[in-house]
Amino acid sequence: MGNAKKKSVMLIVDDVEINRVILAQFFKSDYEILEAENGEQALSILTERKIDIVMLDIIMPVMNGFELLSRMKQDERMSSIPVIATTAKSEGDSEVRAMEMGAADFITKPYNPTIVRIRVRNVMARLENEWRKVEQEAQSQQIVEMRRMIELDSLTGIYNRDNFYRKSSQIMQSNSDMQYAIVYLDISFFKVINDLFHMETGNLVLRTAAAYFKHVAEGIGVAGRMEADHFGMCLPMDTLNMDELIAGLDNAIQSLSIQHNILFYAGVYPVSNAFLPVDQMIDRAHMALNTVKGKYQRRYAIYDEKMREMILEEQMILREMEYALDEGQFSINVQPIYGVQEKCDMGAEALVRWYHNEQNYISPGRFIPLFERNGFIVKLDRFVLEECCKLLAKEKEKFGKVVPISVNFSRLNFYDETLLDYFKDLMSRYGLEAWMINIEVTEVSYTDNPLQIIDATQKLREAGFKVIMDDFGSGYSSLSMLRNLPVDILKIDMRFIQDVATSFRAAAIMKNIVQLAKDLEMEVVIEGVETKEQLEFLEEIGCDLIQGYYFSKPLMTDDYLDRIEREKSEGAL
């Protein structure tokens, strides 16, 4: 007994049961029949079952036929299923509209059995012929297409990653007397382009870049797309001029007239061993790229061993940061801020320190920028704040009074709407008052996102916390910003004007900044003071608060408490 041929599946969608019954009677011998009362039920069935043809009533409640047609054409899983619209003669231009939206044919009610069967048979025959034609074309182009699929990136037409590796290895090893370079390129914030514009715009950028890379490599090297917006090139070193390559790429992208600044960045790995796996070469070029990604001054970097050591160190830092925080490797030092008039400490700044188990001391200059980029700085800032609260609580218990401590806070913290609640909770938990903690925010934080930072710092000030602008003078709009910024204290690094003792202009600028702050009822802290001459100058221009090695280096917390105790016993506090 042979196997019966499996029936095709027909879905009949109509809110009137008798209409479904009639159509089912017409086709039950040739099709497996499924039924739905409206478009919503039909969509559910189409999602779950393989359907070969749909008989679709246009006028229905819940989801009508037009909407279902639209949803089907937008979904690649069901867009090719033939749909025959069923309409009443009184429904005007419904037939035309259904055909425009992709219906294969239409039939009118009341149904004529012969016409209905012919229409369905014709639609299915057309579909079968179309598939046969597609199959024949596919067979005739199979070898060419398979080769293209294997070798080339489908979007850009240049080599895909695997073939870029293979072709690059072949060309380098075949020309062993010539030195090559691997160039790795990608777009800064490519996701933004897809978010701001249609995805086709992003694809246009990728195809344009690929065409440029193919042109540059033509006859001398290899160009390929690794993935997304990442590209690779293998070029002879003696032909490689990165400034010209980047400039030509910029011109190609700018010719698209997209209203967005699209910048490619690159890393270059000079190949010393042509038999090294190309994916390792790409990794090293990628390492070089990461050192300049997002910087406007430099658009490419060349890999060297020093860079390798630096990147390996960064990887170690990022790999160990969570463990280090959990294991107590981070701690704080405290550097006093000296009051010139009072002759004693009037404040202090908390500075984070990392004593790694194996590598001993790791400088903040090495880990703070990394933590700023990956967001871990938020957790570290809160650790430092809590350590300061512990120190202040101990100071309060031991001496009955405290010296305010300043805590550096990254701008990333100010995107948290619960920040003020967090501060208040911490003060309550350790029995402290708001004036005991000063919050230091860099000037760059204000320039990056002024409205967000201003709103957050204003709320902190209203709650009793003092806000310090650190690194004043490092930005491009320092003076104009002072009009609106809600800060209590300006902190200026002595390096801002190194030669105040010998330069009339430098001295005049510093003097006027101090006077301007006083006119605005702000305090000024000068940090980095190291010599008696610097101190005498600052006293002369009326600066009251000094921080630097001339008075004290950063101290461990126990040494800081000993210093306070000495000042208290001497009557200074």
Range scoring the smallest mean pLDDT among 215-224, 238-247, 406-415: 406-415
Residue indicated by tokens 């009557």: 571
Query: pLDDT at residue 481 above 90?
Result: no
Q: What angle do CA 225, 230, 233 make, to 5 degrees?
A: 55
Q: Which residue has the higher pLDDT, 139 or 536?
A: 536
Q: Does residue 534 fall inside a structural domain?
A: yes
Helix (H) or strand (E) run with residue 24 in it: helix 17-27
At residue 270 the predicted structure's pLDDT band, cuts being 50, 70 and 90, is: very high
Same domain, 136 and 158: no
What's the confidence (pLDDT) of residue 455? 86
The tokens for 539 are 């006293």
* CATH code: domain of residue 232: 3.30.70.270
The three-state secondary structure class of 120 is helix
In whole angstroms, what is the distance from residue 211 CA to residue 204 CA? 11
User: Do 27 and 71 meet the contact criterion of CB atoms below 8 Å apart?
Assistant: no
User: If we measure between CA atoms, which residue out of 507, 440, 497 comes closest to residue 468?
Assistant: 440
Pair (224, 343) in one structural domain: no
Which range in 41-55, 88-102, 283-297, 383-397 is most confidently predicted, on average pLDDT?
383-397
* Structure token digits, residue 88: 């009443």
Task: Output 133 or 286, whichever has higher pLDDT.
Answer: 286
Comparison of pLDDT for 404 and 110, the residue scoring more: 404
Among 450, 344, 436, smallest CA distance to 394 is for 436
- In sequence order, the β-bridge partners of residue 546 are 338, 526
**Mean pLDDT on 499-519:** 80
Residue 494, class by beta-carbon neighbours within 10 Å (0-12 exposed, 13-18 middle, 19+ buried)? buried
Residue showing tokens 């390559």 = 245
Q: Is residue 64's pLDDT more than 80?
A: yes
pLDDT at 533 over 90: no
One domain for residues 89 and 48: yes
Is this structure's pTM higher than 0.75? no
For residue 361, what are its two tokens?
């001391």
Bridging pattern class, strands 555-556 and 330-339: antiparallel
Q: What is the DSSP string of 431-446?
A: T--GGGEEEEEEHHHH
Most confident of 27-31, 457-461, 533-537: 457-461
In tens, the pLDDT along 288-325 reads 998 887 676 789 999 987 887 877 788 888 888 999 99
Is residue 350 situated within a structural domain?
yes
Whether the pLDDT of residue 201 is over 60: the answer is: yes
Side chain identity at residue 70, one-letter code = S
Would you say residue 415 has pLDDT above 60? Answer: yes
Closest CA to 469 of 435, 439, 432: 439
Q: Which of 112, 140, 168 is the last residue of a domain?
A: 140
Tokens of 125: 């025959």
Cβ neighbours of residue 40 closer than 8 Å, sequence gap 6 or more: 62, 63
- Three-state secondary structure call for residue 226: strand
Decide which of 16 and 310 is more confident. Answer: 16
144 vs 6, higher pLDDT: 6
Residue 31 in domain: yes
**pLDDT above 70 for 434:** yes
Percent of the chain at pLDDT above 90? Answer: 38
Phi-psi region of 112 (alpha: psi -120 to 50; beta: other; left: phi over 0): beta
Predicted confidence (pLDDT) at residue 124 exceeds the cutoff of 70: yes
CATH value at residue 99: 3.40.50.2300
Per-residue pLDDT averaged across 526-547, rounded?
A: 88
Residue 331 lies in a domain: no
Count the Cβ atoms, other than its own, within 10 Å of residue 461.
16
Specify whether 229 is located in the same domain as 114. Answer: no
Under 8 Å CB-to-CB from 157, ≥6 apart: which residues? Answer: 207, 210, 214
pLDDT band of 29, cuts 50, 70, 90: confident
**How is residue 205 written in tokens?**
């950028």
Same domain? For 119 and 164 the reply is no
Q: Is residue 309 part of a domain?
A: no
Residue 274 has pLDDT above 60, yes or no: yes
Kindly state whether residue 2 falls inside one of the protein's structural domains: no
Query: Does residue 547 fall inside a structural domain?
Result: yes
Q: Which of 246, 279, 303 is the last residue of a domain?
A: 303
In the prediction, which pLDDT does 477 show? 46
Tokens 């994916």, residue located: 279
Q: Which residues pair with 362 in a beta bridge?
A: 354
With respect to residue 447, please indicate whether it lies within any of the assigned structural domains. Answer: yes
| Tokens at 255, concatenated | 């010719």
Across all residues in the chain, what is the average pLDDT?
Answer: 85
Answer for the pair 390, 427: CB distance below 8 angstroms, yes or no: no
CATH at residue 426: 3.20.20.450
Q: Quick check: helix, strand or coil at residue 450?
A: helix
The confidence score (pLDDT) of residue 476 equals 47
494 and 388 in a single domain? The answer is: yes
- Distance, CA of 73 to CA of 470 (rounded, Å): 58
Domain count, the chain: 3
CB 530 within 8 A of CB 562: no
**Is residue 450 reached through a cis peptide bond, with omega within 30 degrees of 0 on the bond before it?**
no
Q: What pLDDT digit, counting tens, does each position of 143-166 carry?
A: 455 555 667 888 898 999 989 999
Tokens of 323: 């463990």
Print the domain residue range for 221: 154-303
166 and 29 both lie in a single domain: no
Provide the H-helix boundaries in 257-362: 278-290, 305-326
* Same domain as 185, residue 119: no
